[in-house]
Amino acid sequence: MNFMRVLYTEWLKQRRGLLPWIVVGGPLMFAGMMWVDLYLRYSYLSGRHPNLSSWELLMQEGFMIWALFYPIGITLIAALVHYREYTDQGWKHLLALPVTRLSVYTAKWLLIWLLSCSAAGLLLIFMYMTGIILHFSEPFPLGQYIRYGINLCIAALGVVSLQHWLSSRLANPLYGMAIGFSGSMGALFFAQSEMMRFVPYASALFTMTVDNEDQWLAITTGLVAGPLLLIAGLVEFRQRDIH
C-alpha cells in the first residue's frame, strides 16, 4: 500500500541520523537524573509520603519535569522528521514523486507519533531499571506504569499534530522549534487555568497515575485535539502551493 511504503521510507531516512539518539538519549538522561535524585533524597521523600510505594515516589518525583520536556522532545522529533525538507529543495522533490500528499503528510505524522511513544516506552523501561538499581523493595507495579505510558502516548497526540504542521509549514526549523519550546515552557501556567489547561502542551502534566484524578483531561485533549489538528493540518497541506 502506498502509505506503508511512504512510512517505511520516512523511517529509513532517519536511520543514521540524530533521531535515534534523541529518542533513546532523552529518556535515558532523564532516568539517570531520577536515579541521582532518588539516591540522594529517598529517605526524605518516603518520610513525606509514607503511603506511597517507592515506585510511586519515583513516578511522582519525575512526572512533572518529564511533562515539561516531553513536548520539547516531540518538537525536536517533528523538526528532524522534516529535516530533508528544510535542506535541499524542500518539498518539491518529495511531492514530485508519485505519492499522494495525503499519504506523505499522514506517514510523517504517524512516524512522529510512534517515535514519541517509543520515547515514552523507553522511559518506562529506564525507570524500571532505575528502580532495580536502587533496590526498591516493592514489586514493580506494571499496570500502573503501563497506564502512565499509555496516557503519555495519548497526551502526545495533540502536540504531535501541532508541531508536525508547524514544521511542515515554516521553512526555518528554528521557528517551529521556538514555538514548541515556548508552548512547552508555558505548560505549568496553562495547567493552572480553567480554560487553558486544554492546550495540548499542558496535557502531559495530567498523565501521572498516582493519586491523579485529572487523567481524563490528558486523554480527552489528546483524543480530541490530536486528530482534529491532524485533519486541519492535512487540509491546509493539500492545498498549499509549494515553491
Partner 1 sequence: MIRLFQYELQKMRRTRLLWLVAIAPLFMVFQGVQNFIRYRQIWTREAWEVIMEQTFIFYPSFLYPLLIAVIMAMVARVDHVQGGWKYMLARPVSRSDVYIAKLAVGILYILISMLAFGSSVVLGGLVAGAGSSIPWEEIFRKMAGCFLASLPVIMIQYEISVRFNHVGIPLALGIIMSVPSILVANSEQFWLLDPWTYPVVLMLGSRLGMDNGQAGMMNIVIVMLTLLVFLIGIMGFRRRDIV
Nearer to partner 1, 2 or 192 (CB): 192
For residues 213 and 192, what is the distance between their CA atoms, to the nearest angstrom?
Answer: 15
What b/e string do you get for 66-92 counting C-beta neighbours within 10 Å, with b at 16 or more? bbbbbbbbbbbbbbbbbbbbbeeeebe
Binding site for partner 1 (CB under 8 A): 18, 21-22, 25-26, 29-30, 33, 36-37, 40-41, 65, 68-69, 72-73, 76, 79-80, 83, 86-87, 172-175, 177-178, 181-182, 185-186, 188-189, 192
Nearest to 207 by CA among 82, 63, 52: 63
Nearer to partner 1, 76 or 156 (CB): 76
CB of 79 to partner 1, least distance (A): 7
Residue 78 corresponds to which cell in the numbers above? 517533528
Nearer to partner 1, 57 or 154 (CB): 57
CB of 49 to partner 1, least distance (A): 16
CB of 25 to partner 1, least distance (A): 6
For residues 159 and 164, what is the distance between their CA atoms, to the nearest angstrom?
Answer: 8
Residue corresponding to grid cell 533496590: 135
CB of 183 to partner 1, least distance (A): 9
User: What three-state secondary structure class fits 243?
Assistant: coil
